[in-house]
A and B are shown apart, each in its own frame.
Chain A
């Protein structure tokens, strides 16, 4: 009987993996549902004894079983897309059944936690610090320092909070870990708990990820005895991008509006319910089991460049031929990512722009594609690595429209607490509309009293409007309480800088 492996990751399912699995079962095969290799252009990918076929549909089943399918890609492990990666966090991707404790243990699972439990909390913190691991959620803050603060903070109770509110367009690595390797995340959280003295943990998942929520709940139940006395719970967001910001997330977990808190106090000192709290992203916590395994911290620190250590799961998205999950050491360039690995655009047209780091990240021009993937190098270039999303646009993209969308998105998702973000985002949409239309827009037709101090909405010259836009961006960047308002100027300014022709004349 032929044994078939097909991913049950949300991407594979959205591309028809369930129907494909059913077709193989009706053809008399046994089917295992595994995690995704992350080669998304090949999903659903069929794995028979290590040989891959994709993207496959029910019509291909007979050919595949007969050994005559033109969709064969040969040995999956030898595929150049996989062979070029350094997979630590995603080492199990495509190889294990997500809900199988057996598979997890057989692939080195729980070895990091076992070793951590032979160490003192301070020793675990020292290991994480030595690895150079920085927060993978976007801010890039050293994880060891955060953990040390929580370890040393006085408090009756301490918490580990996993930020799984992955709202950035162009990112899906958190979702893939939660769906494909949830025990790794649980193990990372249990290690964090041991290192800081926390008894309870929460995984805050966005409601847009129902598959991840269901699998996490099952995985938590299955592994409860292993991680005890640490206990874990999933909490579901309710549709608010800003809850990806750590203090908004904490407010939301407490059952409040997801408004940003002013810092200080740091969440490490006064976080969830006022207690010392580690707030780390999924990828950060999922990197920890490897680091805590024997010699892991040293191996991790040897990868990467400068102060960006270890590997980054990069998400190749948008208009890219070979889109998917590419984990590699820091230092890789966009040229390699987009052209060599990604194979250029799906549409076959020239690349116009790449947005790195989600909706709040800058649009990079092909002239900048030699920039090494490194936190500091990106900062110098007025750009962000963020959560590692790389979204490719071809030459049909209208960058003026994308700049407008950046403001529009900020206006929809602003928590409203600070004025630059709440009002600035709406003003930004109006400004870009006026700049692109060369003056007054339909919105200006609203009847206004001449004595209103801001009555003059139009009739500014283009340089005056552009200066106003610059002023607005400055105000939002430095006056906003969190990254939503503070970073929205990145996509706007970069679009205007590199593609002024898309903003009208």
Chain B
């Protein structure tokens, strides 16, 4: 990771109360992950130990230790989407995704009356059936 960019991100949040999460979000967004270098830089800037920063990074599902360049399709597998049949279309989507697409399980996108639901980037997709879900995975 480029030191200059890292320093800019960290500086942008300097002086904020509880700055660690906002900083980590920005690093994750800029680099697609938060690696050991970034952890060390953040730890130094916030006067924390590397272990403390690593403990936070590894706690949250959103933060990744390494960049995964594959496209992501987040498919909700929580109760409301299960009630609307997501499990019966998930297997075909997994096969379609294979190694190329990262088909991730998420637990609730807040669209529980119109499931099954998925998210690609900031775009939400509702009322999925097998055909539309496969299409989503294919075009990811």
Interface residues of A (CB under 8 A from B): 10-11, 13-15, 40-41, 43, 166-172, 175, 207-211, 235-241, 252-259, 273, 315-320, 323-324, 346, 355, 358-359, 389, 391-394, 397, 402, 405, 409, 412-413, 415
Contact = CB atoms under 8 A, between A and B. Distances in A.
B110 A355 contact: no
Contacts of B18: 235, 253-255, 273
Contact of A405 (B59, B82, B117): B82
Interface of B: 17-22, 24-25, 46, 55-56, 59-63, 76, 78-84, 106-115, 117, 119, 122, 124-127
Contacts of A359: 78-79, 107
Nearest to B128: A14
A323 B109 contact: no
B47 to A, nearest CB: 12
B109 to A, nearest CB: 6
Contacts of A324: 113
A interface: dominant SS: mixed
Max chain A Cβ within 10 angstroms of own Cβ: one of B46, B55, B59: B59
B21 A238 contact: yes
Nearest to A242: B59
A14 B119 CA distance: 9
Given A169-B108, A238-B25, A346-B84, A15 B19 contact: no
A255 B83 contact: no
Contacts of B63: 238
Max chain A Cβ within 10 angstroms of own Cβ: one of B79, B110, B114, B122: B110
19 contacts: A10-B110, A11-B126, A15-B126, A40-B114, A169-B78, A169-B79, A170-B79, A171-B110, A171-B112, A209-B110, A210-B122, A236-B21, A256-B56, A317-B112, A318-B80, A318-B112, A391-B79, A391-B83, A402-B82
A273 B115 CA distance: 39
Contact of A315 (B59, B83, B113): B113
A392 B108 contact: no
Max chain A Cβ within 10 angstroms of own Cβ: one of B22, B76, B112, B125: B112
A387 to B, nearest CB: 12
A119 B114 CA distance: 44
Contacts of B78: 169, 359, 409
A85 to B, nearest CB: 15
A415 B108 CA distance: 18
Given A238-B62, A391-B79, A15 B84 contact: no
A92 B78 CA distance: 30
Contacts of B110: 10, 166, 171-172, 175, 208-209
Contacts of B113: 11, 40-41, 172, 315-318, 320, 323-324
Given A14-B117, A235-B21, A241-B107, A257 B84 contact: no
A319 B19 contact: no
Contacts of B20: 255-256
B107 A318 contact: no
Nearest to B109: A208
A392 B127 contact: no
Max chain B Cβ within 10 angstroms of own Cβ: one of A168, A397, A413: A168
Contacts of A413: 107
Given A172-B113, A391-B112, A257 B59 contact: yes
A148 to B, nearest CB: 25
A14 B111 contact: yes
A273 B18 CA distance: 9
A392 B80 CA distance: 8
A336 to B, nearest CB: 17
Contact of A13 (B24, B76, B124, B127): B124
A61 to B, nearest CB: 20
Contacts of A236: 21-22, 25
B107 A409 contact: yes
